[in-house]
Amino acid sequence: VLAIGCAVAGGGHHLSQPYPAPFTHDETYRAVLAAEFTSLSAENQMKWDHLRPSRDAFDFTDADAIMEFAAQNGLVVRGHTLMWHNQIPAWVTEGEHSPEELRAILKEHIETVVGRYAGRMQQWDVVNEIFDDAAVLRTEGNIWIRELGPEIIADCFRWAHAADPQALLFVNDYNVEGINPKSDAYYALIQDLLADGVPVHGFSTQGHISIRYGFPSDLAENLQRFADLGLQTAITELDVRMDLPEGGRPTEEQLAKQAEYHRLVVEAAVSVEGCRSLTLWGVLDKYSWVPGTFPGEGAATVLWDDFTRKPAYDAVQDAL
């Protein structure tokens, strides 16, 4: 069974229009999350900048609200994310902490956050985007790896596993849909981690795809090689964006292509044993991060802003 999930919009700085937080203010949107999906992810609400106003404080208000909503509606949750180079508060990035202090801060964070939701979290993205676009470990760009060394990756998994032995612990990144230097780097890293007995349970690819660049046709083959290592796999942030024509309305051809890409992703996921989770990174374009992040592109979700269905919606449904 493939859980189909959605990221709960909110807490980002990307919205082109200043919508009030959709999850708390848009009842129709909430109803769609509950009715259409079996899994939820926090788009931003479980990231450091959200959870950690200061070194001494945790703010779980928005994260707890997602967990409660999921429990009420019988949905599972993917936790996102524990160790990442982005959306870290200034008190961490600009604070003058020694490596020992930083290590204690990270450990406390993982123990507290994972521990809070222990037994209620299906999967955690423990490390996110640790390789750069050249498939090189972010030894400069990721403050944790820079200050604490690559060994910190294994520690994050060990701390998370101790805090919640039931949660499946994932390595997550973008542009690792197909077999390429970046997914090769993960393949090598994960083999090393497994050989060292590190509790890593899953490899996931985000799935931020543009029809401009074509479909990663070896997606299933790539996921399968991680499955062959004994791992679960997942697609965690699927959206399929396109260059918007003048006026903003995609052409029928673009929508058909977007639908085809969704179908191919679902088919790949279904074909790989141990791929149990496919999450859409939003469901309405007005709340999507895409227009604010990729200039000129958009329409990346499966519903129109009035909640009617794009061809991509039916493609997902039909391929399941």
Residues labelled as active-site residues: 129, 237
What single letter denotes the amino acid at residue 313? Y
Contact partners, residue 64, CB within 8 Å, separation at least 6: none
Distance CA 99, CA 135 (A): 25
Q: Which is nearer to ligand XIL, 12 or 79 (CB)?
A: 12
CB of 129 to ligand XIL, least distance (A): 6
- Tally of helices (H runs) and strands (E runs) in the chain: 13, 10
Strand segments (E) across the chain: 3-8, 39-42, 76-83, 123-128, 168-173, 202-205, 208-210, 232-243, 275-280, 297-298
Q: Which is nearer to ligand XIL, 133 or 228 (CB)?
A: 133
CB of 196 to ligand XIL, least distance (A): 25
Residues in the site for ligand XIL, rule: CB under 6 A? 12-14, 43-44, 128, 174, 206, 237, 289
The residue number with the shortest CB distance to ligand XIL is 12
Q: Which is nearer to ligand XIL, 164 or 237 (CB)?
A: 237
CB of 14 to ligand XIL, least distance (A): 4
Q: Which is nearer to ligand XIL, 174 or 304 (CB)?
A: 174
CB of 50 to ligand XIL, least distance (A): 10
Distance CA 61, CA 104 (A): 24
Query: Taking Cα atoms as reference points, which of 303, 149, 159 lies closest to residue 239?
Result: 303
